Structure 1
Amino acid sequence: MSAPSLLLLDLDGVLRRFGSDAPLEDRFGLPRGTLARVSHPLSRPAVVGEVTDERWRATVRDQLVRDGVPADRAEGAVAAWTRAGEVIPEALELVRRVRERCRVALLSNATDRLPRDLAELGLDREVDAVVTSARLGVAKPSPEAFRRALRVLQHSASGTLFCDDRAENAAAARTVGIDAVHTPDLPALHRALSSRGLLDGGTTGPVDGPGGALLVVLHDRGDAEEAARELADAGWSPCAVHRDLLAGEDDAEDADWVVELVTGPDDQPAAAHRGLLEELAARYDGFVTD
């Protein structure tokens, strides 16, 4: 089974982080949580490219003024809040290792400001492509965001691994055939990359835990498709069905059918649940293999 040829990576929470807004809010005399409370409901037009980032931030400033914040303080708070964040260095090191094996692209819910932020952080040189919701006109977790991103990147869903710190985004990516993993922290990201052969040393590394994809091998195509549907409904991925001819044979009569599994419903490698899969395979007189 081949490794992914494209790593599609979320940005914020995976490769970039922001500090708390609290120090800024304290500095400008705003109740804690004000900036998030005001900005988030106003962000959608900028996130899908209907207005510029500059226009959105001006709208946030104006709303603060309407809420009773003096204009100079509102202006200063929004200006200080407009920052690029910081790179998560351990995640960047993983990305550099992966780029030795395949393409790496970012897919981020972001405004038209993102290219400037990436350049400031130096991340524009660390990935092969950047796709934003502002460019696509649709944001995660809409499945359409992933379809459009793959078209922009000219890549197949089946050859793509997607990692995101939000479970709902990973779930949406799976609906379009992408192998997607919820990676809320660095160990989860390392497991996802290592188990798919994207890091040196395969599944070995500093993060403990089982790794590896599995094949459920069944003798009948109908059984394989039925098992794949059952597994997909339960949250397994990618649940792709392939014909597996016996070595040296050309006759379809001598074919088995395999269901390819990389991650389980909990986003752990399929090998972590080998016993469960062996029980399922036994129902169809099949077996499980690496």
Structure 2
Amino acid sequence: MTLRGLLVDLDGVVRLWRGHGRRRAEAAYGLPEGTIRRLAYNDDFDAAHHGLLTYAAWVERVRDRLVTEFGSQAAGAADLWSSDRGEVDPDMVKLLSQARAAGLRIATLTNNTDAVPTDLDLHGITHLFDVVVNSADIGATKPAPAAYITAAALMELHPRQILFTDDNPANVRAAHTCGMSAVPFTSARALAQALADRGFPLDQPATPPTSCLGEGPMIAGLLNAHGSTAFPTPGSGEATTAGYRVMYLSTPKSTADIVDALADHAAITGISAHLASIGVQSADGTLTEVRLLPHDVEEPGAPATSPSSDVEHLPPWTPALRTAAARALQTAASQMAWSLTQSVLAHERGDALAAAHALDRARIAATDTITILARHQAAPAPGLLLSRYLGSATQQALATSLSCDPLTPDGLTSAIGALIPLLRHARYAGLHLFEAPLVWDWQHLTAQLSSMLGAVDLGPSLLRGDAMYDAALAEVYDRHRHVPADMASGLAECARRWLNDADVLEVGAGTGRITRHLAPGSRSYLALEYSPAMANLVRARPMVQVTVQVGDALALPTADNSIDVVVEHEALMFTADPLRAVDEALRVLRPGGTLLRLLVHPLGQDAVSEVEHAYRQAAFHDMPPPVFIGKGTDERVTHHLTGRGHTTQSHDLAVWDDASAVEDAVAALQDRAWPYTRLPDDARHQLGLEAAHRAASRLAALPARRLRLYALATTIPEDSP
């Protein structure tokens, strides 16, 4: 597809920040080096990027922090710092002007505040851009897919018609995933070369390439020349690795015709044709998997979600692929359910061979189900199999089933039981990821399986196959999360104020360390936890009035208008879709009920955050940052609730000092007690630990960290329908 647009990051690409204002302010007012960076670039900065705070309000908060920490005389430092508006790179100004003259549509996609229009006018570069896409305006920041989706929509271009550049490699990778051509920004000269490579030399009038791929790869060129349309950019979250790449092909031709078209080329040394893909080996040893799509299907990489979508973690499917996958998933899952039913019925009439044969059909359908989900499932980082929606437990479940002897009663029971989680996952995906409910009679299936497996839960829960939910994390979780006396008193005050004599649902109960302080005095208390290993630890605590259930925040196991209080302690940030979890909480709350979010935040400088940041910078230095941090979750949830017409109030519960915070933080990282520490391999983990130790040594002399426990309470009006 012909290049028609250039989308560039603003800061670090067109506008350069040298830090002059920050350094001048610190020198003029005698502030320690790094003070403004520490006080300014925090959660408030993120909120300003999401449009939840204005630029002026953010600067005022920085001013207030300066005054609180250094006295009223430091207020002027905020003015001196904020007066620095950066400087423009003249080479990029020239390049953008030339690219615009060459016929490209020029836009900037920036994580920024509402000060952008004023700054562009100040620097005299407003005219360079046909479109300005600012995170403060759209409510989404890079590398969230919604940011790129919105940018393409505002540019009125297909993502594959856009070249994107950014000085942040994670943002470049995200643009690739959303279907854009993307290059890391290193210099204006390198960007000019990237444009020239795509048919837009800037020293002469642009001549768009005649092929839909321009100077694309050799195999894509061959396929295009034979009446097909090849899309070489991975469109479903699979990373192209050295020696292996994925290509999608939409064609009216038969597989045999495609093989013939490729076989005549001298650079191709081997071809292997399959039902839905063709393996092609080139003379240089590269293996290309050509995946066949129905003719005229939209190109992979075009976003499935609308620009206004709040969902940031779903893979970037096209609508056509999502629809086709939903149909295929429904077929496979229904076949799996029917085959399992047939296996149980054959077992009950004593026909072991028929039961084993039906089980084999169920395994085949399970394999199809896994393939449909895994083929299009985005991973959290290149080279990792872990995912929020699809973990390694899928393969483990199938392998467990295959290892059982279905000709024995116990073996058949174990083999079927191992497949039940896959069926749960397929149903969940159909309901929530594909927005297409599966039509199989699940109640009938449950009744059939209960005769063999006992009480069978086919509810809409996910597989628990990634490291965030494994037993190893549960084992070390509490070791580094003690509840000091002041915090315990604050939790008890919370229970007296909101939970006394109420029907309570706690979302994300973890190991129950918070639950035991909240539950006393409630009328009923359901502790919902996604991890079975952690749920077992809740059950082990002596809390007779608490019911523990393994379940998902995105599909709460309670009826509409049945709960007085839904409470969570820093759990929403770990859900696949926090805003959908909030909507579920609103669904189950009675009129007059309360959604209660409990948070612990540091006051002043947070050495622990700096230690953990050092770990992440080192452990994830060449890969996307972990998705388990929940950046901006609190502000986005509050904003989402406001949009639903509900007001949120903040209530302070406790403040205390944590003297051993830095040492505890390093120990927790060493034990991999935070979910994101489960992602890096051992070598990366070691790099992270070394960086954390260096940061801890540098920060050891700081005073004790001061922590604040507070509640964000959102009460549903009594007259709510």
State the shift of 1:230 in Å: 11
1:160 corresponds to which letter in structure 2?
I
After superposition, what is the alpha-carbon deviation per residue over 1:10-63, rounded to whole angstroms, capped at 9, x for unaligned? 001100012223233212211121111111102011110012110011001111
CA distance change for structure 1 residues 158 and 226 in 2, over 3 Å: closer, same or farther? closer
| Residue 234 (structure 1) aligned to one of 214, 232, 240 | 240
If asked which structure has higher relative contact order (CA below 8 Å, sep 6+), I would say 1
Offset at residue 127 of structure 1 (A): 1.4
Please give the secondary structure, in 1, of the residue aligned with 2:157. coil
Question: 1:278, CA displacement in angstroms?
Answer: 4.5
Equivalent residue number for residue 279 of structure 1? 285
Q: CA deviation at 1:161?
A: 0.8
Correspondence for 1:66 among 62, 68, 74: 68
Aligned match for 2:178, one of 168, 176, 179:
176
2:33 corresponds to: 32
- Residue 132 of structure 2 aligns to a residue whose secondary structure is strand
Closer, same or farther: CA 113–94 of 1 in aligned 2, 3 Å: same
Return 5+ residue gaps in structure 2 as ranges: 205-214, 263-281, 291-721
Q: CA deviation at 1:169?
A: 0.6
2:191 aligned partner? 189
**Matches of 2:156 and 2:233, distance apart in 1:** 30
Aligned to 1:207: none
Q: Mark the CA change 1:25 to 1:283 in structure 2 (over 3 Å): closer, same or farther.
A: closer
Give the CA deviation at 1:192. 2.3
Partner of 1:8 in structure 2?
7
* SS of equivalent residue, structure 1 residue 163: strand
Q: CA RMSD in A?
A: 3.7
**Paired position in structure 1 for 2:80:** 80
Superposed displacement of residue 233, structure 1 = 1.5
Query: What is the distance in 2 between the residues matched to 1:169 and 1:241?
Result: 23
2: CA distance, partners of 1:240 / 1:279: 16
**Alignment correspondent of 1:98:** 99
- Cα deviation, residue 171, structure 1: 0.8
Per the TM alignment, residue 254 of structure 1 is displaced from its structure 2 partner at its CA by 5.0
CA contact (8 A) 2:231 2:249 kept: no
1:13–1:184 Cα contact (<8 Å) kept: no
Question: Cα deviations across residues 75-112 of structure 1 (Å, max 9, x unaligned)?
Answer: x2111222321110011111111112211001101111
- Note closer, same or farther for the CA distance 1:105–1:113 as it changes in structure 2 (3 Å cut): same
Matches within 5 A, 1:143-222: 143-200=145-202, 213-217=216-220
Structure 1 residue 186 displacement after superposition: 3.3
1:26 match: secondary structure: helix
- Contact 1:216–1:277, Cα closer than 8 Å, also in 2: no
Q: In the TM superposition, what is the alpha-carbon distance from 1:125 to its structure 2 partner? A: 1.1
Q: What amino acid sits opposite 2:169 in the alignment?
A: A
Secondary structure of 1:107's match? strand
Amino acid at match of 1:18: W
Q: CA–CA distance in 2 between the matches of 1:61 and 1:80?
A: 11
Query: CA, structure 1 residues 244+30, in 2 after alignment: closer, same or farther (shift >3 Å)?
Result: same
Aligned length: 249
3-state SS in 2 of match to 1:233: coil
CA 1:153 to 1:38, structure 2 compared with 1: closer, same or farther past 3 Å? same
Residues 235 and 81 from structure 1, CA distance in 2 versus in 1: closer, same or farther, beyond 3 angstroms? farther
Runs of 4+ that moved beyond 3 A: 184-188, 217-220, 224-232, 238-245, 250-258, 281-284
Q: 1: distance between equivalents of 2:125 and 2:199?
A: 23
CA distance in 2, matches of 1:128, 1:137: 20
- Report deviation, 1:124: 0.5
Distance 1:121 1:277 in 2: 52
Partners of 1:195 and 1:239 in 2: CA distance: 21
Q: Give the partner amino acid of 1:12.
A: D
Instruction: Report the Cα distance in structure 2 between the residues aligned to 1:176 and 1:227, rounded to whole angstroms.
Output: 10
The CA deviation at 1:255 is: 5.2
Distance 1:239 1:108, change over 3 A: farther
Alignment partners' CA distance in 1, 2:246 and 2:288:
17
